[in-house]
Structure 1
């Protein structure tokens, strides 16, 4: 970090961005972000155990940074971690053994690796997958009916439905789904007392990653020996410039698809249902006019913003909104803030199933735009299209709980009481 803490003003409201518990408290988080957008939209954050960084909270500035992916790169700090985690990740990557997913990479390598799985998320592939997605949506709405009149929507429905979709796309056996679920919760839940492994230390997180690597290394060997018609085979046999991907890039590809591919969708689905419960006028509006489902899904995604941030590193001295940024400085892209930006969204704290346009940044922007965005949208559309016509009544049956995180997260419990046909 080349900017000295002596050189800059500190707005302590920005400390929420480096506090996992803040993401489990919507009111506290959004009060701080609203203050920052109005008063210091590019702000210095120095809150140990995290290394300092610049936080960017305005939609337009985040888009400009994402657009200039040569000036602002993902490496070496693609997401916010405690300093110890940054150091271990760097040591591992220097040794060629660290997790290196699409979010860690920059072009041209990022572009080449992304191409390997891209065809599986294009419109034709989505149309082919829709039958399976609709079938799973009906299965899980039927399950809601069968276990009603109460359930924890997160643990009973939202966590399993997108997991089954993404692992079906990969071609993994259903017997392995519970293992993938637990590993994903442990990977994204390192800051959360309920989901973290052990003490949630760097060593515990590394153990989770090693379990992922062991599973997916065996899968790679199997798919190279006997290729099948699934995404796992496409990844295992993918090449770059005629050469097979490295073992680390191959395993990392599986990890990001299997984990981010379902956990973020779980957050958007469960948070979307809570928003409908909290806004019964919007629920009734959507039930009465199913043609709004497309805009409703986008609003659920904006409202929940499952990926809270990515980090970028400046490759040269520059400035953002007139604030000097030194070469080597880390920049935090606050997607949660961008998606409530008053300069972009009319009445941003109003949940509106008909919001149009809806230029949210929940899938990122530019070269790192989410590879699985179309799949997430389709899964949500299928589930709510199945659920809402069969729903006679719904209300909270307890207090919803959000996970503590600084990266990916949302509801971990949503107790509901309902009547379902």
Structure 2
């Protein structure tokens, strides 16, 4: 539970011990409420599938008890249970389907090319801030109908809100993001367009229009979900390639490996460190009884390194097959943007490979100091043209 462990320590050693010795582990309450930890793949996957036992509506992340309930509980895609979750998801599902993302791919490729061009012009860049963060942010902004003139503003706000630094600065930046979507929602409700915010601003669920607050919270949910994990996965994947250059050379020699490489990047980075559920009825796992009302935490990086499921789980291998990781969730809450995330990673790495861009370290990476997401906060590199 120490955020510094993820920046400076080795949480995998602790998870390895838990998987072997205490796969269902009770953490007594302190600053955070008490909770059960699930660290094995099969237990996490089973719990993900059982939405009737494990509720999302009371929050999906550990938060100090003094902060109270999550304001999005029961209102956003991530924090609702069936049947409301399915109805909310149905409003936007088509936007993230294979067919829709395939149709958008030329625009996504153009966005990616522009980001890489600007990074190449600078040469010395932070791969997180200057490359990995911008591709998914620009893409989701376009899908949400955010004017291109506002993309940089939202980039700055999301960098402050979801990066490291002063908690007060992060909070004010997040409030400004919510204020931005309040204004955008009003504009789209008055004059809808062909975009995600217009869909939410004019949608009905159970015969009623979504309230302005619900629209704003769901916009925030889409922005975070559409940017945060892809940003960290793209950067974490590049860090893995820099540390294992022979794996990048595998891709140089065979571009057909790119799809399996993307899956391995997702497994390896497992950027959502934990996901929480609340048990709504008693359930027994490995002889331990979880009572109704208990918090249950799924440690995704642990599940995706479970030696019972993955051969040589601590080896990064772009040829790994099969690779049924849980980095994008499972069951009712399988990541809405899973197809989009995969395409963004494929296009970004494909752009670097296709133009034979050399990526070289330019300093020590800094990892995030957080128990919520894990991966690089800064990754200084030099990009060199060879095309």
Tell me the TM-score normalized by structure 2.
0.95
Cα deviation code 1:290-349 (max 9, x no counterpart): 001001001111111111111111111111122111121110010011111111111011
2:88 aligned residue? 113
Q: Is the 8 A contact 1:188 1:409 kept in 2?
A: no
Q: Is the 8 A contact 1:186 1:197 kept in 2?
A: no
Q: Is the 8 A contact 2:263 2:323 kept in 1?
A: yes
Shift of 1:373: 0.6
Distance 2:160 2:246 in 1: 37
1:384 aligned residue? 349
User: SS of the residue aligned with 1:104?
Assistant: coil
Q: Is the 8 A contact 2:119 2:383 kept in 1?
A: no
Distance 2:140 2:355 in 1: 25
Q: For residues 25-40 of structure 1, what are the structure 2 equivalents within 5 Å?
A: 25=8, 27-40=9-22
1:9 aligned residue? none
Asked if 1:24 is matched to 2:31, the reply is: no
1:417 aligned residue? 382
Distance 2:200 2:166 in 1: 29
Instruction: Give 5+ residue unaligned stretches, structure 1.
Output: 1-17
User: 1:54/1:66 Cα in 2 relative to 1: closer, same or farther (>3 Å)?
Assistant: same
Asked if 1:178 is matched to 2:152, the reply is: yes
Cα RMSD of the aligned pairs, angstroms, is 1.8
Asked if 1:66 is matched to 2:84, the reply is: no
Greater mean alpha carbon deviation, residues 278-287 or residues 384-393: 384-393
Q: For residues 6-155 of structure 1, what are the structure 2 equivalents within 5 Å?
A: 18-25=1-8, 27-46=9-28, 48-85=30-67, 87=68, 89=69, 100-148=75-123, 150-155=124-129
Asked if 1:284 is matched to 2:249, the reply is: yes
Distance 2:268 2:166 in 1: 23
1:259 aligned residue? 224
Displaced runs of 4 or more, over 6 A: none
Q: Is the 8 A contact 1:185 1:196 kept in 2?
A: no
Q: Of 168, 172, 178, which residue of structure 2 is paired with 1:213?
A: 178
Q: Is the 8 A contact 1:188 1:408 kept in 2?
A: no
Tell me the TM-score normalized by structure 1.
0.87
Shift of 1:48: 2.8
Aligned length: 386
Shift of 1:133: 0.7
User: 1:273/1:38 Cα in 2 relative to 1: closer, same or farther (>3 Å)?
Assistant: same
Q: Is the 8 A contact 1:224 1:237 kept in 2?
A: yes
Q: Is the 8 A contact 1:170 1:231 kept in 2?
A: yes
User: 1:160/1:119 Cα in 2 relative to 1: closer, same or farther (>3 Å)?
Assistant: same
Q: Of 181, 202, 207, which residue of structure 2 is paired with 1:242?
A: 207
Distance 2:300 2:247 in 1: 24
